[in-house]
Amino acid sequence: MRKDFYVFRHGETDYNRTNRWQGQGVDFDLNETGHIQAQLLADKIKGLGIEKIYSSPLKRAYQTALAVAKETNVPIEIVNELTEGSLGICEGMYREEVREKYPELWNEWYGEEMNMNTRWPGGESKQEIQDRMFVAFNKMTQTNENIIGVASHSGSIRYFLLALGYGPHKMPNTALFHIVYEDGKWIFDKLME
């Protein structure tokens, strides 16, 4: 059995533009640029044969999924496990503010050693985010669709892909990845340009 997954990050929000951390507790709409990005993504995806989109419940991901669904004429289903990672008390803070306030944690989170147990105060660890994403993706392997769209977030996508051998990396808004599930194995195929 083979399933193809086209996994995409949401379009831009005002928090993305100003380098503020959203996490799962900050739920803003796409801004004007984000809506344009979502439409460009939809144009890129429309010929891939997607049968259904599974989306994070957060507005920025769901609005991006809506743009793709409108272009591909497929249904959307909310999957709570696809939400962004919880960044605890750092949600809503500016990136530089987090770096200054928590320099040791910053170095652990972004360090080359990739400590999967690192977490921001009150937030999820990288491992917990990755585990939650695997719960979502493993459920999707049991659905009837063979070609699936997935709308999620940079942190959640990043730690899922890390388990497949891709990352760490910066991820622009509406980045699109192709992943294959075949014979019980997850395979990272490519970042789609």
**Per-residue CA distances from 116 to 16, 50, 130, 182 (Å):** 24, 32, 9, 26
Active-site residue (options: 35, 153, 169, 178): 153
CA atoms of 48 and 164, how far apart (whole Å):
22
- Please indicate whether residue 169 is annotated as part of the active site: no
Partners of 88 in the beta sheet? Answer: none
**How many CA atoms, within 13 angstroms, populate the side-chain half-sphere of residue 11?**
22
Active-site residue (options: 10, 35, 169, 178): 10
Per DSSP, 48 falls in state S
The residue whose two tokens read 């051998």 is 165
- The CA-CA-CA angle for residues 170, 141, 64, to 5°, reads 45
- Please indicate whether residue 10 is annotated as part of the active site: yes
User: Do residues 10 and 60 make contact, with C-beta atoms less than 8 angstroms apart?
Assistant: yes
Phi, psi of 160 (to 5 degrees): -70, -50
Residues annotated as catalytic (active site), given as ranges? 10, 153
